[in-house]
Amino acid sequence: MRVTYDEALDIQFSTVNVKGETLRNANGGFVTITQDMHATGSITPEQLEHLADRAQAICFTHNTLKYGVKLVTVIYLNEQEAFRRVNEPLVARE
């Protein structure tokens, strides 16, 4: 994590495992995504919580999944745009 360098924290990350739980129906999708992050070092629980807060605040992936994004679907038929649908996120960005 870049934040660890900025704050000179004694922690080194070695592995990240990501797993997802899905709903498999017509409106299915991920319902939970878990990131298991493995680290070594000496850092207090308070420092670790602060580190997680800072890292999540600047993480594009976290913020995209947290708020959702506008999704645009465009279908071209014979090289001409024939269909366009715009879906807005269900959760408003703060």
C-alpha closest to that of 65 among 37, 91, 43: 91
Helix (H) and strand (E) counts for the chain? 3, 4
Q: Tell me: the pLDDT tens digits for 39-83?
A: 999 999 999 999 999 989 998 888 888 888 899 999 999 999 999
pLDDT in tens, 81-91: 999 999 988 87
Q: What is the mean pLDDT of residues 30-43?
A: 92
Note the pTM of the prediction, 2 decimals. 0.68
Write the single-letter amino acid at 70.
K
**21 within 8 A of 28, measured Cβ to Cβ:** no
Extents of the domains making up the chain:
2-58, 69-94
Tokens encoding 50: 């602060």
The residues pairing with 12 across neighbouring beta strands, listed in sequence order, are 40
Q: How confident is the model at residue 2 (pLDDT cuts 50, 70, 90)?
A: low
CB 16 within 8 A of CB 36: yes
Res 94: pLDDT: 65
